[in-house]
Amino acid sequence: MLIECRDVCLAYENHIVVKGLSFTVDSGDYLCVIGENGSGKTTLMRALLGLKDVSGGSIEFRDGLKMHEIGYMPQQNGAQRNFPASVREIVLSGMTGRSGFGLFYSKHDKEEAVKCMERLGIYPLRDRSYRELSGGQQQRVLLARAACAAGRLLLLDEPASGLDELASEELYGLISEMNRKQGVAVIMVTHDVNRALRDATHILHLHKDETFFGDKESYAQCSVCSHHVHAGGCREEKCD
């Protein structure tokens, strides 16, 4: 087990958005976090990163998991899309946590950054300015940066937001490959329920009335999920 959340309560601007939340993440898991806007998905991600205190309950790292072994890919805003740095510089910055926040990157850091760029197909773009890239290329760069930091766990907050169908499919494929072939556990916030049911091993559905956590097969059979997938939102108060 990598993470155990027990009876967690989270607040945003003094308003409780998540309460009584319990779930676990094991090595190799692919957990998709879904739910309507305002259900606490991003707040939960911040709590997992240690950027947000829990109002109740506990979040514990297990099996020796360290913060520097976690890669994080946040949502982008307009200012970040215009960041004036090269692809190489942005990807390499993902090694900062591993290198102890020193002033210089080691030879090993640079080699690992090259490997990440090669795996994600952006090595030919290494000297290009980040702000000149397409949306899909920028997301690949951010994924490569997160991959440099992700020794054991990768956290993703709406990674395909703003991408067209083709670019989204390519990005999701790369994430799934990292999970399957490299054994990196994934926790991903997404609104794409069908994609979650396709790629994930487990689903965490945050809802104001009731929360679901379990494997995707169990989720696909519950009445809340059934209405969510086919009608675009939960209409039942609880699962059968």
pLDDT of 87 > 70? The answer is yes
| 210-235 average pLDDT score | 67
CA torsion sign for 233, 238, 239, 240 is negative
The Cα angle at residue 47 between residues 109 and 93, in degrees rounded to 5: 20
The Cα angle at residue 21 between residues 15 and 27, in degrees rounded to 5: 130
pLDDT at 234: 41
pLDDT at 225: 56
pLDDT grade, residue 79 (50/70/90)? Answer: low
Q: What is the pTM of this model?
A: 0.89
Question: Worst-scoring range by mean pLDDT, 108-112, 138-142, 229-233?
Answer: 229-233
| 214-229 average pLDDT score | 72
Q: How far apart are CA 228 and CA 93, in angstroms?
A: 38
Can you say how many angstroms the Cα of residue 5 is from the centroid of all Cα atoms in its chain? 17
pLDDT of 229 > 60? The answer is no
Q: Are 91 and 56 in contact (CB under 8 A)?
A: no
Question: Per residue in 109-136, pLDDT tens?
Answer: 999 999 999 999 999 999 999 999 999 9
Q: How far apart are CA 194 and CA 200, in angstroms?
A: 10
Q: What is the DSSP letter of 86?
A: B
pLDDT of 102 > 70? The answer is no
Question: Per residue in 161-188, pLDDT tens?
Answer: 889 999 999 999 999 999 999 999 999 9
pLDDT of 232 > 60? The answer is no
